[in-house]
Amino acid sequence: MHDYEDVLIVGSGGREHALGWKISQSKKVKKVIYANGNGGTAENIQISPTEIDKLAQYANENRLFTVVGPEVPLSLGIVDMFNSYDLPIFGPTKSAARLETSKEFSKQFMNSHSIPTSEFKVFTDAGKATDYVERIDFNAVIKADGLAAGKGVFVSNNKTEAMDAIDQLLNKKIFGQASEKIIVERKITGEEVSLMAICDGGSFVIMDPCRDHKRIFDDDLGPNTGGMGSYSPVPEITENDLNYISDKVFKPVIHGMKGGGSPYSGFLYAGLMIEKHTGKPFVLEFNARMGDPECQPLMMRMQSDLFEYIKAAEKQSLDSMPPFEWKDKFSTCVIMTSKGYPDKYETGYAIKGLNESPDNDLMIFHSGTKLNQANELVTSGGRVLGITSLGKSIDEAMNKSYEKVREISWGDNQQHYRTDIGRKGLEV
């Protein structure tokens, strides 16, 4: 049995910064190293998350316990590779990660295990998909089967929009191989909520709910992004709802994946839609990882030692662990992006107003940042920073986050952020 105390976090986003920050607080962890991290993470190695053979070599030479953040290395089989060298790693195998990497696998799995999800059909032929959309009497959501960096889902409001999405995916093949197959499913109207759990192949421990804000502009307007902000907990999700989702979603996933020969170990994310008229939760998607930016407020609120749970998952003894303990506080994470994101944007601007705060209730998690040759912190991506606060109320957490957000800028007002992260929580 391994008992390593130095941890390698694979990834470079705000999720990985938050995971590493939390894991580094464990008494069992000496040091956290990021591959390849960002301008806010203390110790980075310049190996890309997709260079899985180099990562295995580095982890072996330095006796590291590896935690995988994003989905791409999982889809490349990083966990299978580490397992074959008997290197300790936390995350699902390539086969188990199909819950995220193939929407077709995921929907069919849900159907065969009676997990609530909307009705769907799979197409490879644009003509047949278009005929189907002509006939249905509901609005459709069109999804690329494979990974498309969070951009493969088209929510249509009418038949023209649905047909345009089919054309983009199947005829124009905008995501190449990832969109050679598509899923057309019934659109469910309501509010989304993200639920995550840590799993060990046979059991799981669920986390508190969180809510992401996927659209670029206030009031959920504009194009989808990787996530513009989040808050946790989600006041309208009750203990009963959580028990229901545990029983109807997470339990059947764990049992079904084990029964199907691909036991699921790692973080599992269920993206749910709570249907407006029925209050019933439907699974929109599974992700084989923590959400970004959902991870940031969850890490701020978590009292328990996450690394103990990760080690328990590695030993397949999660069933002996108590439920996670959470700070009785709200947390909001406001994402600051480069102006123009999710389309074209410029990078390389020096970030002003960042001076790290000594306050334990405010964390700035970095994503698209780096140190340039002059050792200045500059922007280097679309999503740049996640200003994450804790407060006794959502109001207090929001005010704290936004007070800091207003102090930060780059270029000639080249930053963008939503001003309503957390507002839905106030409206309950």
The nearer residue to ligand GLY, 212 or 305, going by C-beta atoms, is: 212
Choose one: 36-44, 291-299, 371-379, 381-389; the region binding ligand GLY (CB under 6 A): 291-299
Q: How far is the CB of 71 from ligand GLY (least distance, A)?
A: 8
The nearer residue to ligand GLY, 208 or 294, going by C-beta atoms, is: 294
- The DSSP letter of residue 168 is I
- Show contacts with ligand GLY in window 154-183 (CB under 6 A): none
Radius of gyration of the chain (CA): 21
Among 212, 231, 273, 329, binds ligand GLY (CB under 6 A): 212
Residues 336/338/343/346 CA torsion (nearest 10 deg): -170
16 binds ligand GLY (CB under 6 A): no
3-class SS of residue 288: coil
Cα 213 to Cα 206: distance, rounded to the nearest angstrom:
21
Closest CA to 387 of 412, 421, 414: 421
Cα 326 to Cα 22: distance, rounded to the nearest angstrom:
13
**Residue 192 parent element (H or E):** strand 190-200
Q: How far is the CB of 3 from ligand GLY (least distance, A)?
A: 31
Choose one: 19-27, 169-177, 288-296, 389-397; the region binding ligand GLY (CB under 6 A): 288-296
Q: How far is the CB of 150 from ligand GLY (least distance, A)?
A: 6
Choose one: 57-65, 77-85, 290-298, 367-375; the region binding ligand GLY (CB under 6 A): 290-298
The nearer residue to ligand GLY, 16 or 292, going by C-beta atoms, is: 292
Among 294, 330, 364, 397, binds ligand GLY (CB under 6 A): 294
Parallel, antiparallel or unpaired: strands 120-123 and 182-186: antiparallel
Among 145, 185, 241, 292, binds ligand GLY (CB under 6 A): 292
Buried b (16+ CB within 10 A) or exposed e, 290-314: bbbbbbbbbbbbbebbbbebbbbbb
The nearer residue to ligand GLY, 128 or 215, going by C-beta atoms, is: 215
- Show contacts with ligand GLY in window 225-244 (CB under 6 A): 227
The nearer residue to ligand GLY, 88 or 226, going by C-beta atoms, is: 226
CA 26 → CA 19, 184, 210, 310, 314, distances in Å? 11, 44, 23, 11, 16
Among 41, 179, 287, 380, binds ligand GLY (CB under 6 A): 287
Q: 399 burial class (0-12, 13-18, 19+ CB within 10 angstroms)?
A: middle
297 binds ligand GLY (CB under 6 A): no
The nearer residue to ligand GLY, 20 or 291, going by C-beta atoms, is: 291
* Residue-wise DSSP of 91-150: S--TTTTHHHH-HHHHHHHHHHTT-----EEEES-HHHHHHHHHH-SS-EEEEESS--TT
Cα 102 to Cα 98: distance, rounded to the nearest angstrom:
5
Among 14, 70, 209, 291, binds ligand GLY (CB under 6 A): 291
Q: How far is the CB of 230 from ligand GLY (least distance, A)?
A: 7
* Residue-wise DSSP of 208-264: PPBEE--EEEGGGEEEE-S-SEEEES-TT--HHHHHHHIIIIIHHHHHHHHHTT---
The nearer residue to ligand GLY, 227 or 281, going by C-beta atoms, is: 227
Parallel, antiparallel or unpaired: strands 190-200 and 204-206: antiparallel
Q: How far is the CB of 100 from ligand GLY (least distance, A)?
A: 9
Q: How far is the CB of 287 from ligand GLY (least distance, A)?
A: 5
Residue ranges binding ligand GLY (CB under 6 A)? 150, 212, 227, 287, 291-292, 294
